Homo-oligomer: A and B are copies of this chain.
Amino acid sequence: MGLVVQKYGGSSVADAEGIKRVAKRIVEAKKNGHQVVVVVSAMGDTTDELIDLAEQVSPIPAGREFDMLLTAGERISMALLAMAIKTLGHEAQSFTGSQAGVITDSVHNKARIIDVTPGRIQQSVDAGNIAIVAGFQGVSQDKKDITTLGRGGSDTTAVALAAALDAEVCEIYTDVDGVFTADPRVVKKARKIEWISFEDMLELASSGSKVLLHRCVEYARRYNIPIHVRSSFSGLKGTWVSNEPPGGQPVEQAIISGVAHDTSEAKVTVVGVPDKPGEAATIFRAIADAEINIDMVVQNVSAAATGLTDISFTLPKAEGRKAIEALEKTKGRVGFEHLRYDDQIAKISLVGAGMKTNPGVTAAFFEALSNAGVNIELISTSEIRISVVTRADDVNEAVRAVHTAFGLDSDTDEAVVYGGTGR
């Protein structure tokens, strides 16, 4: 039996009871003969409480100190988890990100892992210990300052450690039973996916699915680390995310992996753009220079009478104001008529490698939305994904209609959400 990396989110270790429950699961894995390395997030609301304290002393907390502050959260949860495991009669040692060899760049609050040197972790598990590692944090290569990895950072820590330690699998424990064919909060009949390819999981993650973040899946794909997403609250098997189905067993690849939705974006429309070369380039150069990541981009056919066209794109709501300001500055050069900003939109995406070889998928998707009376405002496609923008008010109905139309509904209401969400 090889080495297993397990990651537990904040909702799994929200209180002393949660920590004791998780400790038992960890000990099970150890008893089964595995070497076990555990990555843990801060307990429940700890991070929010620390952020609140920071805001009380400083309007814009300094990055270096903010990271120092936030990393106290994992320090608490990992020490308590190690104590709980020792109480069960097994040896455990906790390690900070720095002690675990998680080396990052110096971009505070959203550092990137540039190397993992897990010598102390390897030594600890070789000596028979269960190693508990603080998620979400590292130490900067140049300045030796404490850094944090930003949203979803603990998942990335787990995958990065799994890669560095050559683990068999990286188990991500969360408050749902796995990856579902749609958000179980919206679709009661969503079905748990047994296995999904890295490729489809990446598309789901970038389309609004929150179980795994894009960055973590990308890391796992690069180092070919199978991820097993499962619940720390139930004993059920979860979802395997990997290149091939686990154990070489034949698992039928579904045509459609799932339906994702995202209500965190807004839509900007540049109205009345002269339809000539270079206009779009000027617009998107302005957006890029403002360091705004955009998602979908659509340009209408220009009206013959005027020679003007409209260009629409979506972006995170939080970047809306910055984008409008950047575009206003280009008005003189581009000569568009005006800007429209709309944050009452939703994006609904259908993901599945099977759509490459099933030409009817796009049509069936649009028919399902039409039958549900949902109007489509923008369309964008990739090889294994179709996304549309609709009114925000329509999102739940649209997701359910599409889920049913593609035969994804489960016979039972099996989807359960156990707790809150960690980071």
Contacts and interface: CB of A to CB of B under 8 A. Distances in A.
A243 B244 CA distance: 75
A344 interface: no
B62 A82 contact: yes
Contacts of A19: 57
29 contacts: A16-B53, A16-B56, A19-B57, A20-B57, A50-B76, A54-B79, A54-B83, A57-B80, A58-B83, A58-B87, A61-B83, A62-B82, A62-B86, A64-B93, A64-B94, A65-B80, A65-B83, A65-B86, A65-B94, A66-B83, A68-B75, A68-B78, A68-B79, A68-B94, A69-B75, A71-B75, A72-B73, A72-B75, A72-B76
Nearest to A52: B16
Nearest to A19: B57
A33 interface: no
Interface residues of A, number: 37
A76 B69 CA distance: 5
A395 interface: no
A59 interface: yes
A353 interface: no
B80 A54 contact: yes
A73 B72 CA distance: 7
A3 interface: no
A83 B16 CA distance: 31
Nearest to A139: B99
Contacts of A68: 75, 78-79, 82, 94
Contacts of A38: none
A130 to B, nearest CB: 12
Interface in A233-284: none
Contacts of A80: 53-54, 57, 65, 69
Nearest to A86: B62
Given A58-B84, A65-B86, A68-B82, 18 more contacts: A16-B56, A19-B57, A20-B57, A50-B76, A57-B81, A57-B83, A58-B83, A58-B87, A59-B87, A62-B82, A64-B82, A65-B79, A65-B83, A66-B83, A68-B75, A68-B78, A72-B75, A72-B76
Nearest to A49: B76
A-B pairs with lowest CB-CB distance, top 8 = A16-B56, A69-B79, A68-B79, A58-B83, A72-B75, A72-B72, A57-B84, A65-B82
Interface string A94-125: 10000100000000000000000000000000
Number of copies: 2
A16 B144 CA distance: 28
A56 B81 CA distance: 11
Contacts of A57: 16, 19-20, 23, 80-81, 83-84, 87
A79 B50 CA distance: 10
A301 B73 CA distance: 61
A73 B75 CA distance: 10
Interface in A3-55: 16, 19-20, 23, 50, 53-54
A12 to B, nearest CB: 14
A93 B65 CA distance: 7
Nearest to A68: B79
Contacts of A87: 57-59
A88 B80 CA distance: 36
A388 to B, nearest CB: 44
B62 A83 contact: yes
A53 B76 contact: yes
Contacts of A66: 79, 83
Nearest to A78: B68
A61 B23 CA distance: 14
Contacts of A79: 54, 65-66, 68-69, 72
Contacts of A83: 54, 57-58, 61-62, 65-66, 69
